Amino acid sequence: MTDDRYSRQELFRPIGEEGQQLLKKKHVLLVGAGALGTGNAESLVRAGVGKLTIVDRDYVEISNLQRQQLYSELDAQKKLPKAIAAKYRLEQINHTVKVESHVLDATWTDLLELAGEADLILDATDNYETRLILNDVSHKLGIPWIYGACVGSSGMTFTIIPGETPCFQCLWNKMPTAGGQTCDTAGIISPAVGMVVSYQTTEALKLLVEDKGSLSGKLITFDLWQNTHAAIQVGKRKSSMCPTCGTQPTYPYLSAEHTMKTAVLCGRDTVQIRPAVKKNLHLPDLNAIFTTQGLPVQYNHFLLSVEMNEKRMVVFEDGRVLIHGTNDVAEAKKIYHRIFS
């Protein structure tokens, strides 16, 4: 193997040879190995990051292959855990990068431990609960993290620097969502994934080569199909009263109190899920979505019931959900997060 693997990257002056050496010493924690995760992982490994730790709870399915670029049909046939399949592929791309994988439905204690030696946290998750935990982990440890989300043809990203930018909690109540739905309700096109990955990886490289002055500092949103793009100044949203980044932080999501509650209902082959953040769901909207998809759905003013792949999901207005047809908590949470981001 010749020494010019990174020669074109080193010719890019903001990185150069010095930046490449810095990159080689850095450790990134990547949470999620789906569409955003595989794109970010491949870009960082090709760029020569020193170590990449991947955390993901899921396995490869055929529906992933349209947008999750590291996986193959064989991975889906074998139902390989995504973290493992990603590690195999990444080590073939660049054997000099240390890739560590964890097949894990990570709790706040897991993430706090895994982030302890990282220089950067990359968000490639599918739900806000985990992002709120990452936000607290980031600020407690003083580690930057990069938020990213996409659905349909839209996406958004924002780089969060503890002590400098507003945190995810500051933006939470007023932040627009990427379409307000998930990939399983609104679908997704791969160019939207690629766009978010490009922004996330570029911001990551700036941080890893210690060029903070080049960071965007803005909340980026776009819709490729509608031909819209915005870069929003959000600095004024940083709040001194914020429980995560304010003057007296309590890190509320680093506690059992603010963790999703699950319970297997005795004798009913059913898992009950209560979200960490109470939701006020608009059931008519869900009814319209499921009806459009042709799924068997029943709806009244109190709850909605929908049949999905031999499972039945019952949704209440306060966000509580019953998953009938399984007593496997991990499987129930997977179904839940496919519908609720």
Amino acid in the structure at residue 54: I
pLDDT at residue 176, as a whole number: 44
Per-residue pLDDT at 177: 44
CB 312 within 8 Å of CB 324: yes
What per-residue confidence (pLDDT) applies to 274? 84
Question: In order along the chain (341 residues), what is the average pLDDT of each group of 10 residues?
Answer: 84 97 98 96 98 93 93 94 96 97 90 96 90 96 97 95 95 54 81 97 98 96 97 92 94 84 79 78 86 87 84 86 89 84 66
The phi, psi pair for 237, rounded to 5°, reads -80, -5
Question: What is the rounded CA–CA span in Å between residue 66 and residue 335?
Answer: 19
Within 8 A by CB and 6+ apart from 145, the residues are: 120, 121, 122, 123, 134, 135, 138, 159, 160
At residue 341, the pLDDT reads 66
Specify the amino acid at residue 37.
G
Q: What is the DSSP letter of 230?
A: E
Q: Which domains are present in the chain? A: 7-237 (3.40.50.720), 260-339 (3.30.310)
